[in-house]
Amino acid sequence: MNGQTPAPDGVTGGQPTGTFTPIGTGMDIARPDLARKRRRRLIAAGSVVVAVVVALGIVVSRLEPASPTVDNPWPDTVKRGEMLRQVRGNGTLVPEQIQFVQAEAGGQVERILVQPGAEVEPETVILVLGNPDLQQQAFDAEWAVRAAEAELAKLTVTLESDRLLQESLLATLRSDTRQAGLDATADEELLKSGLVPLIVQQKSRAKADDLAAKVLIEERRLKFGADSAKSQVAVQEAAVAKLGAARDLKRRQVAGLQVRAGISGVLVQLGDLVPLQSGQRVAPNATLAKVVVPTKLKAEIKVAETLARDVTRGQKVDVDTRNGIVPGHVVRVDPAVQGGTVLVEVKLDGPLPKGARPDLSVDGTIEIERLADVLYVGRPVQAQADSTVGLFKVTPDGKHAVRVPVKLGRSSVSTVEILEGLREGDKVILSDMSQFDGHNQVKLN
């Protein structure tokens, strides 16, 4: 042993025959082929991951969104048979007979004798007005009539006196005419005997003829005088009648200062816009009170203008007073539209329930017609007649509902006619589903 390390296998003479890395130097041998293989493996793995991600994205994008859940839906089953068409409106009870008490003349409220709510009779004095000027006018009118009546009486007496005087003169003239006629006849006889000259006979005859002519004239004057008297009396009577009418008006106005009810009923209002108070002045023709007959009421129902087109006179109506339902029938449909509604007057055919009174709020259901053998279902929320809507139809398993287009026909208060889209026995959801407009299927809970 000379202290040298033995050579490894394949070494001669102590010298290396190939590449040799001394032990303990810290250096690696470069292998480019391994690095390339490693990069290829990484690129391939990345490509696979990208492809998987893209494929998953495509699949996810094509998936339907999860069906939302509907809690406590309101379902109904499509039926076939008779469908009762009705329309509904709300309104109030109003009196059939209303008496508005008005003032014929203005005045000042002196006393209020009856308060609203009290029962009154036709002659019940509700309040008393004061009007001194009117009372003075009534007094003057009374004396004007009396003066005119006295003038008429005076005229009548004067005309009667003139008539009697005219008749007296006519009677005297007639007597003179008869006497003159007798004298003329006697002279004619004497003339024949030669006892009187011709001139005497002619004079007597002329006198008799003259008096006869005057009688005719006076008779005509008497007739004309009678006609003239009638005309004068008629003129004066007309003046008396005119003054009498003015007097009667003043009398009625004075009597109207004691304001009476006019009918049997209940006093519901004093005044018009504001209640009357003692000392308040009221104008002529102002409304002083309102009296109604509480036992005779009718219903005024307001129906939406879109539903009122089929409402006509004579149709049956059920009026709900909240204390009972009273039957009735339509008696008038207002031709005008106010605030999007049409006023329908209903005459009540049955007795009123206890507590019914004017201005009580009521609901009215009007029967339009009965449709025989039609397909119908409960009316969905916000569904309109003669339209096409999307309704959710319950699947056979009862766990889901799918949207289907449904064509609606004539509608009623709670039902609607089905024209297309559903069959008898199908079950649909009637509740408001507007929050699911973006979904064609929902899950039922």
Among 78-82, 156-160, 166-170, 356-360, name the most confident range.
Answer: 78-82
The region of weakest confidence among 17-21, 229-233, 274-278, 315-319 is 17-21
For the purposes of burial, counting CB atoms within 10 Å of the CB of 29, is it exposed (0-12), middle (13-18) or buried (19 or more)? exposed
Distance from C-alpha of 105 to C-alpha of 285, rounded to nearest angstrom: 7
| pLDDT above 70 as % of the chain | 89
Examine the pLDDT at 3 and tell me if it is beyond 50. Answer: no
Distance from C-alpha of 222 to C-alpha of 162, rounded to nearest angstrom: 10
Examine the pLDDT at 18 and tell me if it is beyond 50. Answer: no
Examine the pLDDT at 21 and tell me if it is beyond 50. Answer: no
pLDDT tens readout for residues 370-418 = 999 999 999 998 788 889 999 999 999 988 999 999 999 998 888 999 9
* Lookup result for tokens 């041998």: 29
Q: What is the mean pLDDT of the chain?
A: 86
Distance from C-alpha of 439 to C-alpha of 402, rounded to nearest angstrom: 9
pLDDT tens readout for residues 328-353 = 999 999 999 999 999 999 999 999 88
Distance from C-alpha of 59 to C-alpha of 310, rounded to nearest angstrom: 56
Predicted confidence band of residue 17 (pLDDT cuts 50, 70, 90): very low
**Mean per-residue pLDDT, 19-25:** 45
pLDDT score of 130 = 94
Predicted confidence band of residue 30 (pLDDT cuts 50, 70, 90): low
pLDDT score of 22 = 47
**Mean per-residue pLDDT, 215-222:** 88
**Mean per-residue pLDDT, 56-61:** 60
Q: How many CB atoms lie within 10 A of CB 367?
A: 16
Q: Is 425 left (phi over 0), alpha (psi -120 to 50) or beta?
A: left
pLDDT score of 62 = 57
Predicted confidence band of residue 57 (pLDDT cuts 50, 70, 90): low
Cα–Cα–Cα angle for 274, 277, 282, rounded to 5 degrees = 75
* Lookup result for tokens 């042993």: 1
Q: What is the 3-state secondary structure (H, E, C) of the chain?
A: CCCCCCCCCCCECCECCCCCCCCCCCCCCCCHHHHHHHHHHHHHHHHHHHHHHHHHHHHHHHCCCCCCEECCCCEEECEEEEEEEEEEEEEEEEECCEEEEECCCCEEEEEECCCCCCEECCCCEEEEEECHHHHHHHHHHHHHHHHHHHHHHHHHHHHHHHHHHHHHHHHHHHHHHHHHHHHHHHHHHHHHHCCCCHHHHHHHHHHHHHHHHHHHHHHHHHHHHHHHHHHHHHHHHHHHHHHHHHHHHHHHHHHCCEEECCCCEEEEEECCCCCCCCCCEECCCCEEEEEECCCCEEEEEEEECCCHHHCCCCCEEEEECCCCEEEEEEEEECCCCECCEEEEEEEECCCCCCCCCCCCEEEEEEEEEEEEEEEEEECCCCCCCCCEEEEEEECCCCCEEEEEEEEEEEECCCEEEEEECCCCCCEEECCCCHHHCCCCEEEEC
Cα-trace Rg, the chain: 59
pLDDT tens readout for residues 148-192 = 999 999 999 998 888 888 888 888 888 988 898 898 888 888 888
Q: Which two tokens stand for residue 166?
A: 């005219």
Predicted confidence band of residue 12 (pLDDT cuts 50, 70, 90): very low
**Mean per-residue pLDDT, 33-38:** 70
pLDDT score of 142 = 95
Cβ(391)–Cβ(381) under 8 Å?
no
**Mean per-residue pLDDT, 111-129:** 93
pLDDT tens readout for residues 248-289 = 999 999 999 999 999 999 998 898 888 888 999 999 889 999
Cβ(410)–Cβ(85) under 8 Å?
yes
pLDDT score of 112 = 94
pTM recorded for the entire structure = 0.56
